[in-house]
Amino acid sequence: MLKIGKLELKNNMILAPMAGVTDLPFRLLCKAQGAGFAYTEMISAKGVHYKSKNSFELAQTVPEEQPAGVQLFGSEPAIMAEAAKIFAGSGYPLIDINMGCPMRKITGNGEGSALMRDPDLIEKIVDAVVNAVDVPVTVKLRRGFDSGHETAVECALAAERGGASAVTVHGRFREEYYSGHSDWSCVARVKAAVKIPVILSGDVADRDSANAAMLASGADGLMIGRASMGNPWIFRILSGSGGAPDNSERFSVIKEHLDLLREFKGSQTAASEFRKHAIWYLKGLRGSASVRDRICKTEDPAAIAAIINEYFEWLDSPEQQ
- Whether pLDDT at 320 is above 90: no
- Residue 180: the pLDDT is 87
Q: Are residues 9 and 131 in the same domain?
A: yes
How many whole angstroms from its chain centre is CA 171?
16
Q: Tens digits of per-residue pLDDT, 92-112?
A: 999 999 999 999 999 999 999
Compute φ and ψ for 108, nearest 5 degrees.
-65, -20
- Whether pLDDT at 196 is above 90: yes
Residue-averaged pLDDT of the chain: 95
The CA-atom distances, in angstroms, between 244 and each of 11, 240, 249, 285 are 19, 11, 9, 14
Q: Are residues 210 and 254 in the same domain?
A: no
Binning pLDDT at 50, 70 and 90, where does residue 176 land?
Answer: very high
Rounded to an integer, the average pLDDT of 31-58 is: 96
Structural domain that includes position 263: 247-320
Q: Tens digits of per-residue pLDDT, 178-193?
A: 998 999 999 999 999 9
Q: Are residues 95 and 163 in the same domain?
A: yes
d(CA 50, CA 71): 17
Q: Tens digits of per-residue pLDDT, 274-289?
A: 999 999 999 999 999 9
Q: Are residues 206 and 305 in the same domain?
A: no
Q: 101 catalytic, yes or no? A: yes
For 40, the 3-state DSSP assignment is strand
Question: What pTM does this model have?
Answer: 0.95
Q: Are residues 229 and 275 in the same domain?
A: no
How many whole angstroms from its chain centre is CA 243?
21
d(CA 39, CA 7): 14
How many whole angstroms from its chain centre is CA 40?
7
Q: Are residues 153 and 28 in the same domain?
A: yes
The domain that contains 265 carries what CATH number? Answer: 1.10.1200.80
Looking at 188, 220, 239, the residue that finishes a domain is: 239
Binning pLDDT at 50, 70 and 90, where does residue 91 land?
Answer: confident
- Whether pLDDT at 319 is above 80: no
* Domains contained in the chain, number: 2
Q: Are residues 82 and 9 in the same domain?
A: yes
Q: Are residues 186 and 252 in the same domain?
A: no
Binning pLDDT at 50, 70 and 90, where does residue 321 land?
Answer: low
Q: Tens digits of per-residue pLDDT, 128-172?
A: 999 999 999 999 999 999 999 999 999 999 999 999 999 999 999
CB 256 within 8 Å of CB 29: yes
Question: Of residues 101, 155, 186, 296, which has the active-site annotation?
Answer: 101
Q: Are residues 61 and 150 in the same domain?
A: yes
Q: Are residues 192 and 285 in the same domain?
A: no
- Whether pLDDT at 70 is above 90: yes
Q: Are residues 110 and 72 in the same domain?
A: yes
Q: Are residues 268 and 227 in the same domain?
A: no
The domain that contains 55 carries what CATH number? Answer: 3.20.20.70
- Residue 311: the pLDDT is 92
d(CA 198, CA 200): 7
Looking at 194, 210, 239, the residue that finishes a domain is: 239
